[in-house]
Copies of this chain bind each other. A is one copy, B any other.
């Protein structure tokens, strides 16, 4: 299990959501409430867009709650679009190359969940990766392989469609090998401009995923809240689990659903259906 969050909106100091929000993602690294496990201490990653070309990555093998560099970066970097992922390793090594977000050019990718029996599927799925990309897989997680399969199947042209083809391919491969319910999780994707999130599990019961309500509604519901008063119409957060229990602030994204967040606070929702594909070994 893992937890992740993504912000798209006005440029804010990253610490606002990491350390200054009640039950923010760093707190979730130690005390997650909705996940399979409360502890996500097997490294973490921060990816952000801002100064310099493309997104920047900070990957650490320390638990997020205990990494002094994370506090430094979070309080000295502002960004209009960033993603944070805290990891529970379930078996694979704790190393920077296994930390999310994964990156390719301008694109970032995070995942909460797993590919079942990945050791049985790994070879087949790696063969579905464009041979020119094969050597780019530098860690040993299921997620990085999923990312490269998705890139092979057109992630940069059609993010949600490519994810439907990727998960379709995984399910077809798993089926061939007799593995039930291979896909579990939520996925977050960005190109620096928009944000996409997918909530899906082969067994119909995916990990939790939430989007913040539109800021106007949030402010109307909680007029006394200082923090909410600073929100603009542009601001949206996607999270594995809500930062707070305030009613009306978070909307659950339903299972088998993909959402697209665009600048200006636009949030669009659509059904997510794995597609059959002819690509493969």
Contact = CB atoms under 8 A, between A and B. Distances in A.
Contacts of A96: 68-69, 93, 95
Contacts of A58: 69, 72-73
Given A96-B95, A139-B140, A66 B52 contact: no
A42 interface: yes
A120 interface: yes
B52 A13 contact: yes
A89 interface: yes
A136 to B, nearest CB: 8
Contacts of A57: 68-69, 72
Interface string A226-248: 00000000000000000000000
Given A51-B13, A59-B68, A96-B95, A123 B131 contact: yes
A97 interface: yes
Interface in A68-127: 68-69, 72-73, 75-78, 89, 92-97, 118-120, 122-123, 126-127
Contacts of A140: 97, 137-139
A56 interface: yes
Contacts of A122: 134-135
Contacts of A77: 51-52, 77
Interface in A117-174: 118-120, 122-123, 126-127, 131, 134-135, 137-140
A38 interface: yes
A179 interface: no
- Nearest 9 CB-CB pairs, A to B? A56-B76, A52-B76, A119-B135, A95-B95, A123-B134, A122-B135, A41-B41, A138-B140, A56-B72
Given A69-B69, A77-B77, 19 more contacts: A13-B52, A38-B38, A38-B39, A39-B39, A42-B66, A50-B76, A51-B77, A51-B78, A56-B72, A56-B73, A61-B62, A66-B89, A66-B94, A95-B95, A95-B96, A97-B140, A123-B131, A126-B126, A139-B140
24 contacts: A13-B51, A13-B52, A39-B39, A39-B41, A41-B41, A41-B66, A50-B76, A51-B78, A53-B75, A56-B72, A57-B69, A58-B69, A59-B68, A61-B62, A68-B96, A73-B73, A93-B97, A93-B138, A118-B135, A119-B135, A120-B135, A122-B135, A126-B134, A127-B127
